[in-house]
A and B are shown apart, each in its own frame.
Chain A
Amino acid sequence: MNHYELLFTHMGTVLHMQYLVPLLVGTIAGVIGGALPGVTITMTVIVVLPFTFGLDPLQGLAAMIGVYVGGSAGGSITASLIGIPGTPSAVATTFDGFPMTKKGEAGRSVWVGVWSAFIGGALGGLCLIELTGPFASLALAFGPWEFFSLFVFALSMVAGLVGRSVTKGLVGPDPILGVQRFTMGIHQLEGGFDFLPVLIGIFAFAQLMPDVEQIRSGERQIAANAPRQISLKVSHLSVFWDILCRPFILLWCTFIGVVVGVLPAIGGSAANIMAYDQAKKFSKRPEKFGTGIPEGIMASESSNSANVAGSLMMIMAFGIPGDAVTAVMMGALTIHGIQPGPLFISQQPKIAYGIYAAYLLALPLMVAVIWAGSGAWMRIIMMPKSMLIPIVLVLCVIGAYALGNSMKDVYVLAIFCVIGYAMVKARIPLAPLILGVVLGDQIEANLIQAVSTDANPWLFVTRPISGAMLTASILSIGLAVWQHRRETKRRAAAAEEEDTDF
């Protein structure tokens, strides 16, 4: 069977009720989670996670892919209707979506976003299907030197932010001899920390507590200002025309979304801003951006949706999560004893093609869910946080407990809840932490494997791919430092200018 025959066969499989129901439920949860301000896609996928433990791997993945695709588009509803991004990946949608709504074109604003997400996602899906195999073949040529350098490169992309998370991987047994490290005599730490309770803990409180801080003022203010009912009726043909008569923006922003998705730990929050910026630069009417034009919404939403495909590509080919959502998916796969990486497609074709199929089917489901709920979105968006937060926290506890049917993981969750909130208050970004958590162990294992195979340390530099990755890592860190210095100087100059005004 060739590539596409396998794909169509698995699409047929995913259309069976046992897979379609989790996919649909995941998509509904994703759209709602994405639309609720303050509830991110990561939070939604964490909430859905415990429900997937009792399912078979593809059922669980279908649910998570539904969340991912639905959440990416769901964020744009809130961004367009009330000017608050439902998720960080919909920030740029507010720039033109909300002004368009204020002009009385709420339906056009939402549906340009939704259909752009659909088309961008479908094009991204094509890249996912076509490029994952070649990427995996490339990864198969990698030895431990190349993997070590690739992981170092992935970490260097988020230079300066991963220190604490890499140290997390140091607790518990070392990966080769199993010697206990930094357990401080605590018996419960001898197995190390499981990845998922750490992830759930970090994200749960880090993302919910800022909402709790504002619960008695900000939320009511939004609720008071927002209209209760907005009609989303629109001519879908004219929306399609809005999108398809601007093919360059659509294709270019989709491309940006896929590329950013492939780069580790950057994610949709950067993709939508970068795509918006590019669309503005290439536009014949850049001065109109921010006033409610479809190009701005298209740029943000197509890149945001294509970003999902890029992240899935990276996890399937290299076993490196593109963002926190794919990190949770990776955790869910490892629970079932499946390790994503170069051999994933050849060893688990049913799951690999099932992922492609679920992704492609989630796109029309996402459109259908948003269409079906179009009368209720304002009510859903305004759901009180006081009701939502306790439920989310209970599901986080279940997610941690169900991993090993033990309270140990719940205690780990509680510890990392505190750490996650402390990180938010210290303004340490959470996304890079995920890479540190996932890759910390693997870097060490590959380093030891490389040195055990050949003790010559220069091989890390002289092997072409490994050397190129390490060079790219140094350049990446250099670029980050340069950008930081430039920004500091710019701020200082701006401050001086302000002073001279007085």
Chain B
Amino acid sequence: MMLSRDGVSGLVCLAISVILLTQTFGLPPATIVPIGPAFYPRVVLSILMLLSVILIVLDFRTVRTAAAPAAAPAAGPPSNYRLVLATFIEFGLYILLLPPLGFRIATFVFVLSLQATLEWPRSSKHWLLAIAVAAATSLICYLVFQDYLSLLLPRGTWSGM
């Protein structure tokens, strides 16, 4: 029997609460104050566990008792999960490459590549615009934060920039 999103969320929360609850037994007992470091996590995790079980049971009952209504027709255009995945990957790479490349280079590359991923520039004019946006984002952010607001941005260990 397939669970709905609620049921799956309940299962995930249940798993998290059980794992963390078992870890609370390794915490030291109370010494100075009446309740120790394990007390509050146990209360919260027990409530979370209980709510997760209720969510799973309710979901299971709803799924079983519902007379399998036909899925509602999807409203609006279909979701483009490839683009979401690409955005996650590019964002992850940006974060990983920030320390070696430095803020200016990494930001320029990230902004340009993500713009191209989200909407491929169809002409040289669009490419120029995308490059200008990437360069402006990188340089303006650097100047505003580093020079005006005195916030240090990552300097590249490889690039020295």
Which A positions have Cβ atoms within 8 angstroms of B?
A: 50-51, 53-55, 160, 163-164, 166-167, 170, 174, 176-177, 179, 181-182, 205, 209, 212-218, 221, 384-387, 389-391, 393-395, 397-398, 401-402, 405, 407, 410-411, 414, 417-418, 421, 425-428, 440, 443-444, 447-448, 451-452, 455, 488, 492, 495, 499
CA distance A160 to B16 in the complex (A): 16
- A212: which B residues are within 8 A, CB to CB? 80, 83-84, 87, 118
| Of the residues B16, B114, B145, contact of A398 by C-beta under 8 Å | B145
CB proximity to A under 8 Å, residues B32-78 = 32-37, 40-41, 44-45, 47-48, 51-52, 62, 66-67, 69, 76-78
Which B positions have Cβ atoms within 8 angstroms of A?
A: 5, 8-9, 13, 16-17, 20, 23-24, 27-28, 31-37, 40-41, 44-45, 47-48, 51-52, 62, 66-67, 69, 76-81, 83-84, 87-88, 91-92, 94-95, 98-99, 107, 110-111, 114-115, 118-119, 130, 133-134, 137, 141, 144-145, 148-154
**A53 lies within 8 A of B149 (CB):** yes
**A177 lies within 8 A of B31 (CB):** yes
Q: Offer 13 A-B interface pairs, CB within 8 angstroms, sorted by A.
A: A163-B48, A167-B45, A176-B33, A177-B37, A212-B80, A212-B87, A214-B80, A390-B137, A398-B141, A402-B151, A402-B153, A421-B84, A492-B66
CA distance A182 to B107 in the complex (A): 34
Which residue of A has the minimal Cβ distance to B51?
Answer: A163
Number of A-B contacts (CB under 8 A): 180
CA distance A495 to B81 in the complex (A): 31
Knowing A209-B87, A394-B111, A452-B33 touch, does A55 contact B44 (C-beta < 8 A)? no
**A426 lies within 8 A of B33 (CB):** no
CA distance A261 to B161 in the complex (A): 46
**B28 lies within 8 A of A179 (CB):** yes
**B5 lies within 8 A of A426 (CB):** yes
- A386: which B residues are within 8 A, CB to CB? 114-115, 118-119
- A447: which B residues are within 8 A, CB to CB? 35, 40
Minimal beta-carbon separation of B61 from chain A (angstroms): 10
**A495 lies within 8 A of B87 (CB):** no
**A209 lies within 8 A of B151 (CB):** no
| Of the residues A167, A177, A455, contact of B32 by C-beta under 8 Å | A177
**B114 lies within 8 A of A390 (CB):** yes
CA distance A371 to B59 in the complex (A): 51
| Of the residues B8, B20, B34, contact of A167 by C-beta under 8 Å | B20
CA distance A177 to B28 in the complex (A): 10
- A54: which B residues are within 8 A, CB to CB? 145, 148-151
